[in-house]
Amino acid sequence: MNEIRIFSPATVANVSCGFDVLGFCLDTIGDEMVVRKTKEKGVSISKIIGSDLPYDIQKNVAGVSALALYDDAKPNFGFDIEIYKHIKPGSGIGSSAASASGSVFAINELLGRPYSKTQLTHFAMKGEAIASGSEHADNIAPTIFGGFTLIKNTSPIKVLQLPTPDELYAIIIHPQIEIKTSLARAILPNSIPLKDAITQWSNLGSLVHALHTNDYDLLGNSLEDVIIEPHRSELIPHFQMVKKEVLNNGALGCGISGSGPSIFSLCKGVKNAKQVKNAINNSYLKTEVSFEIHLSKINTEGIKIL
């Protein structure tokens, strides 16, 4: 195989109570990438459609992660990358992770799959780090593994795959403003009250239990973030209105997707998901902010070969 085309999905990191460790994978939103072998050694990017991102491989997250893998594999040929961006940078649904994971996934396939998913996560984190200033993997892991993932360690990286209840659907509303992850991290406090930490780890443990036991009510009750959301929600237009609308319409819960501005909601069943999507859509239409809205099943596969 000399060429591969892939779909690299968007993801929701944090999932309210799991800052920097928990994430899940979406199915209907993602980038496409084409990677082909070249005679010349090294990694290049020859096409970027849909976004104004750098072609310099040292400055592009897909390039940096690809180089990390390439320098380790040392093949006697090279790779060229084309990126078709559909996930807007700064949207909070893992735009940089999709690029960083997509390039290493595709190159690994073209090399005959010498690396494990865990190793790919390690390489992709190098790319993610230049976008956000820190090597977190809560978007990368669900892109590569699919479903819900929990980051047990980042150094060395250890990813736990969690079960995905069958009837779970996500709605993503993306107000059309950009929030840089580095800024959304800079506004967070350095220390937190013990009582908030207790609430948060109780919620995270309960959410993991809910995924294992298909307990949708517990899952919904665990979608609470007393540490990060109070700070970051201030940056997101009409966050409280969306939250109210979502809960009034019977969703399991909602929160900030990654570092925002996107807001995710989780629903049991596609019927309720459509109702919640319509409710958010109708109330957001009354505001001055333009937005995109998506409904997606949880993607349990991660990156797909097209």
Under rule CB under 6 A, residue 14 binds ligand HSE: yes
The whole-angstrom separation of Cα 261 and Cα 252 is 20
The interaxial angle of helices 239-248 and 270-285, nearest 10 deg, is 140
The one among 65, 95, 143, 181 contacting ligand HSE by CB under 6 A: 181
Q: Are 122 and 73 in contact (CB under 8 A)?
A: no
Binding mask 242-281 for ligand HSE (x = CB under 6 A): ----------------xx----------------------
CB 9, CB 302: distance < 8 Å: yes
Q: Does 13 bind ligand HSE (CB under 6 A)?
A: yes
* Count of residues of this chain found to bind ligand HSE when the rule CB under 6 A is applied: 13
What are the catalytic residues?
128, 181
Q: Work out which of 5, 37, 185, 304 binds ligand HSE, going by CB under 6 A.
A: 185
Closer to ligand HSE by Cβ: residue 207 or 273: 207
For residues 91 and 221, give the distance between their C-alpha atoms in angstroms, rounded to a whole number.
26
108 near ligand HSE, rule: CB under 6 A: no
Select 43 or 53, whichever has its Cβ closest to ligand HSE. 53
Q: How far is the CB of 204 from ligand HSE (least distance, A)?
A: 13
Instruction: List Cβ neighbours of 126 (8 Å cut-off, separation of 6 or more).
Output: 64, 65, 67, 68, 100, 135
Select 14 or 272, whichever has its Cβ closest to ligand HSE.
14
Structure tokens at 217: 């009510």
| Closer residue to ligand HSE, CB minimum distance, 245 or 258 | 258
Judging by DSSP bridges, how do beta strands 78-84 and 42-49 pair with one another?
A: parallel
Q: Does 138 bind ligand HSE (CB under 6 A)?
A: yes
* Residue 258 Cβ vs ligand HSE, minimum distance, rounded to whole Å: 4
Nearer to ligand HSE, 121 or 139 (CB): 139
Q: How far is the CB of 20 from ligand HSE (least distance, A)?
A: 4
Nearest residue (CB) to ligand HSE, 136 versus 268: 136
CB of 170 to ligand HSE, least distance (A): 16
Q: Which stretch binds ligand HSE (CB under 6 A): 33-41, 47-55, 101-109, 180-188?
A: 180-188
261: cis peptide before it, omega within 30°? Answer: yes
Per CB under 6 A, does 20 bind ligand HSE? yes
Burial (CB < 10 A; 0-12, 13-18, 19+), residue 13, is buried
Bridge-based pairing state of the strands 253-256 and 263-268: antiparallel
Residues forming the site for ligand HSE (CB under 6 A): 13-14, 19-20, 132, 136, 138-139, 181, 184-185, 258-259
